[in-house]
Structure 1
Amino acid sequence: MTEDRRALVVGGAGGIGGDICRKLASQGYRVVVADFDAEGACKVRDGLHGSGHDVARLDVTNAESVHAAFLGIETSGAASVLVVASGGPVVHLGQQPHVATLSMNDWDRTIALNLTGVFRCIHAFAQLRLVAPIEHSRIIVIGSAAGELAGSGTDIAYGTAKAALLGLTRQAAFDLAAAGITVNNVAPGPVGTPEFFRNTNEPVRSGIASLAALKRLATPQEVSAAVAYIASREAACITGATLAINGGIHMH
Structure 2
Amino acid sequence: MENKKKEKLRPGQVQARPGIENEMQPRPKSEPKSYEGGKLAGKTALITGGDSGIGRAVAILFAKEGARVAIVYLGEDEDAVYTKDQITAVGGTCRLIKADLSKEESCRQAVEETVQLFGGLDVLVNNAGTQWEQSSIEDISTEQLLQTFYTNFFSYFWMTKYAVGHLKKGAAIVNTTSVTAYRGSPALMDYAATKGAIVGFTRSLAGNLVKKGIRVNAVAPGPVWTPLIVSSFDKEKVASFGSDVPMERAGEPNEIAPCYVFLASEDASFMTGQVLHPNGGEIING
Q: Same fold (TM over 0.5)?
A: yes
Q: Does 1:172 align with 2:214?
A: no
The 3-state SS of whatever aligns with 1:56 is: strand
Q: Does 1:82 align with 2:115?
A: no
Match of 1:118 among 147, 152, 156: 156
Q: Does 1:58 align with 2:96?
A: no
Supply the distance in 2 between the matched residues of 1:215 and 1:138 (Cα, whole angstroms).
33
Question: What CA deviation, in whole Å up to 9, does each residue of 1:8-65 have, x standing for no partner?
Answer: 1111112111111111111111111222226232331122121332122222111111
| TM-score normalised over the length of structure 1 | 0.88
Report the RMSD for the aligned CA atoms in angstroms: 2.1
Supply the distance in 2 between the matched residues of 1:250 and 1:45 (Cα, whole angstroms).
36
Match of 2:177 among 140, 143, 146: 143
**Larger fraction in helix:** 1
Residue 246 of structure 2: aligned partner = 213
Q: Which amino acid aligns with 2:252?
A: T
Q: Which is greater in Rg?
A: 2
Between stretches 219-228 and 35-44, larger displacement belongs to: 35-44
Supply the distance in 1 between the matched residues of 2:271 and 2:176 (Cα, whole angstroms).
16
Q: Which amino acid aligns with 2:84?
A: R
Supply the distance in 2 between the matched residues of 1:224 and 1:42 (Cα, whole angstroms).
19
TM-superposed CA distance for 1:87, in Å, is: 0.9
Supply the distance in 1 between the matched residues of 2:127 and 2:262 (Cα, whole angstroms).
16
- Is residue 11–residue 17 contact of structure 1 (8 Å, CA) maintained in 2? yes
Q: Which amino acid aligns with 1:9?
A: I
Match of 2:216 among 164, 178, 183: 183
Supply the distance in 2 between the matched residues of 1:202 and 1:38 (Cα, whole angstroms).
22
In structure 2, the CA distance between the partners of 1:199 and 1:65, relative to structure 1 (3 Å rule), is closer
In structure 2, the CA distance between the partners of 1:242 and 1:6, relative to structure 1 (3 Å rule), is same
Residue 242 of structure 1: aligned partner = 275
The 3-state SS of whatever aligns with 2:220 is: strand
Q: Which amino acid aligns with 1:142?
A: T
Between stretches 60-69 and 95-104, larger displacement belongs to: 95-104
Supply the distance in 1 between the matched residues of 2:214 and 2:266 (Cα, whole angstroms).
12
Q: Which amino acid aligns with 2:129?
A: G
Equivalences for residues 8-157 of structure 1 within 5 A: 8-37=46-75, 39=77, 40-48=79-87, 49-77=90-118, 78-89=120-131, 91=132, 95-129=133-167, 133=168, 135-150=169-184, 152=185, 154-157=187-190
Supply the distance in 2 between the matched residues of 1:245 and 1:202 (Cα, whole angstroms).
25
Supply the distance in 2 between the matched residues of 1:215 and 1:7 (Cα, whole angstroms).
33
Q: Which amino acid aligns with 2:69?
A: V
In structure 2, the CA distance between the partners of 1:102 and 1:58, relative to structure 1 (3 Å rule), is same
Equivalenced residues, count: 243
- Is residue 67–residue 92 contact of structure 2 (8 Å, CA) maintained in 1? no
Q: Which amino acid aligns with 2:102?
A: T
- Is residue 59–residue 69 contact of structure 2 (8 Å, CA) maintained in 1? yes
TM-superposed CA distance for 1:96, in Å, is: 2.9
Q: Which amino acid aligns with 1:59?
A: D
The 3-state SS of whatever aligns with 2:113 is: helix
- Is residue 97–residue 156 contact of structure 1 (8 Å, CA) maintained in 2? no
Question: What CA deviation, in whole Å up to 9, does each residue of 1:112-161 have, x standing for no partner?
Answer: 111111111111111222xxx2x4211001111111122x3642111111
TM-superposed CA distance for 1:198, in Å, is: 6.6
Question: What CA deviation, in whole Å up to 9, does each residue of 1:70-125 have, x standing for no partner?
Answer: 11211122121111110120x2xxx3332233111111111111111111111111
| TM-score normalised over the length of structure 2 | 0.78
The 3-state SS of whatever aligns with 2:270 is: coil
Identity %: 26
Supply the distance in 1 between the matched residues of 2:129 and 2:75 (Cα, whole angstroms).
12
Structure 2 segments unaligned to the other structure (5+ residues):
1-35
Supply the distance in 2 between the matched residues of 1:244 and 1:206 (Cα, whole angstroms).
23
- Is residue 149–residue 250 contact of structure 1 (8 Å, CA) maintained in 2? no
Supply the distance in 2 between the matched residues of 1:124 and 1:38 (Cα, whole angstroms).
24
Supply the distance in 2 between the matched residues of 1:64 and 1:208 (Cα, whole angstroms).
36
Residue 192 of structure 2: aligned partner = 159
